[in-house]
Amino acid sequence: MRHRGIHLSGKKAVITGASSGIGRELALALAQRGATLALAARRKDLLDDLADEISGMGVPRPAVLPVDLAIPGSAAELGRRAMDALGTVDIVVNNAGANLTGAQPLVADSAAARAVFEVNVWSPLALTSALLPAMRAANSGVIVNVTSTVQAVPLPLLGYYSASKAALAQATKSLRLELTGTGIRVLEVVPGATDTALRDVDELPWKSTPPPTLPPVAPASTATAIVRGLERGARRVVHPRYSLLPLEVPVLGRMLATVGGRRVDTRGALAGPIR
Ligand SMILES: NC(=O)c1ccc[n+]([C@@H]2O[C@H](COP(=O)([O-])OP(=O)(O)OC[C@H]3O[C@@H](n4cnc5c(N)ncnc54)[C@H](OP(=O)(O)O)[C@@H]3O)[C@@H](O)[C@H]2O)c1
């Protein structure tokens, strides 16, 4: 089934990671289009502020659903809470993301490493699974998974983050095939460098200066690109557009990682005690 775009007015959407960055901007953009929202993240004060700002726009006040998605089981519970709050969910945006910078021999499968996968992989899968029965019953809905260009640029010390995003990207493509022939659309959002707290490469211990890159884009521009993708029936939104290169030409992504990786102080990072 070929998916058509949707009119966002009146649609019910749950957004994880809505307290800051891309999620916050997307909440504002969807509210401007007349969608009714449920906002999820850990920082309830920021979600409350955002809900106030949105209700000041003359649209229904979003439901505020504080949650720590690093806790196993919390995403499925969030799905139930979102259904209770909204009655139904037309769009789920799995946007919350956790980063971890560290050398694998030191971090291994520690609780911090597992939490990255809990937030970035297991929670999106669990939240989607909790909301899919209602979407199946309605034979409509959009599942939006936010991955990253690092799925194709495996920089040193970012292995946990990039592996989790690559896992979510593959799961997203598989889910799309599983739902072929239904009215449910699966949209992968692939941000490139975006000016938020989670800009991954900022966390790396560079030997001197980081490799020169184009400036990060504003999260509001990413939100605009996602809204356009939702409205036009897109299956993938890559923003900024030049981030398509490492995705479509994987050898380029590996080259970027090799060249950039030489500037990362891996020796210093490995100098700590090995557990
Ligand atoms: N910025 C970039 O350059 C870039 C590039 C590629 C992909 N991305 C992806 O874009 C998405 C949005 O990130 P962002 O750039 O907008 O950064 P951000 O401003 O730091 O937003 C991350 C969001 O995730 C939430 N979050 C983190 N851990 C959580 C947890 N344990 N439970 C619940 N919520 C949690 C945070 O809320 P609380 O802290 O309030 O819980 C926050 O709202 C992420 O999936 C990220 O991986 C970003």
The pLDDT, as a whole number, for residue 208 is 79
Here the tokens at position 110 are 């520690």
Tell me the domain boundaries of the chain: 12-271
Q: What is the strand order of the sheet 236-239 is part of?
A: 63-66, 36-41, 12-16, 91-94, 141-146, 184-191, 236-239
Q: What are phi and psi of 240, to 5 degrees?
A: -70, 160
Residue of 78, 153, 198, 243 to mutate, ligand 1, most atoms within 8 A of C-beta = 198
The pLDDT, as a whole number, for residue 272 is 72
* Pocket flag, ligand 1, residue 42 (CB < 6 Å): yes
Question: Can 242 be counted among the known catalytic residues?
Answer: no
Here the tokens at position 71 are 């806790």
* Pocket flag, ligand 1, residue 96 (CB < 6 Å): yes
Fold of 12-271: Rossmann fold (3.40.50)
Here the tokens at position 34 are 């007349």
* Pocket flag, ligand 1, residue 68 (CB < 6 Å): yes
Share of the chain above pLDDT 90, in %: 83
Which protein residue has the closest C-alpha to ligand 1 atom 42?
Answer: 17
The pLDDT, as a whole number, for residue 267 is 86
Per-residue pLDDT of 21-57, as tens digits, reads 999 999 999 999 999 999 999 999 999 999 999 999 9
**Mean pLDDT for the stretch of residues 190-206:** 84
What atom of ligand 1 comes closest to residue 201's alpha carbon? 3
The pLDDT, as a whole number, for residue 2 is 57
Question: Is the pLDDT score of 275 beyond 60?
Answer: no
Kindly give the distance from the C-alpha atom of residue 199 to the centroid of ligand 1, in angstroms, as a whole number: 9
Nearest to 148 by CA among 27, 225, 240, 266: 240
Which protein residue has the closest C-alpha to ligand 1 atom 36?
Answer: 17
Per-residue pLDDT of 201-242, as tens digits, reads 667 888 877 777 788 999 999 999 999 999 999 999 999 999
The pLDDT, as a whole number, for residue 271 is 86
HEC sequence for the chain: CCCCCCCCCCCEEEEECCCCHHHHHHHHHHHHCCCEEEEEECCHHHHHHHHHHHHCCCCCCCEEEECCCCCCCHHHHHHHHHHHHHCCCCEEEECCCCCCCCCHHHHCCCHHHHHHHHHHHHHHHHHHHHHHHHHHHHCCEEEEEECCHHHHCCCCCCHHHHHHHHHHHHHHHHHHHHCCCCCEEEEEEEECCECCCCCHHHHCCECCCCCCCCCCECHHHHHHHHHHHHHHCCCEEEECHHHHHHHHCHHHHHHHHHHHHCCECHHHHHCCCCC
Per-residue pLDDT of 52-94, as tens digits, reads 999 999 899 999 999 999 999 999 999 999 999 999 999 999 9
Kindly give the distance from the C-alpha atom of residue 198 to the centroid of ligand 1, in angstroms, as a whole number: 6
Kindly give the distance from the C-alpha atom of residue 215 to the centroid of ligand 1, in angstroms, as a whole number: 19
Q: What are phi and psi of 186, to 5 degrees?
A: -115, 120
Residue of 20, 28, 189, 244 to mutate, ligand 1, most atoms within 8 A of C-beta = 20
* Pocket flag, ligand 1, residue 21 (CB < 6 Å): yes
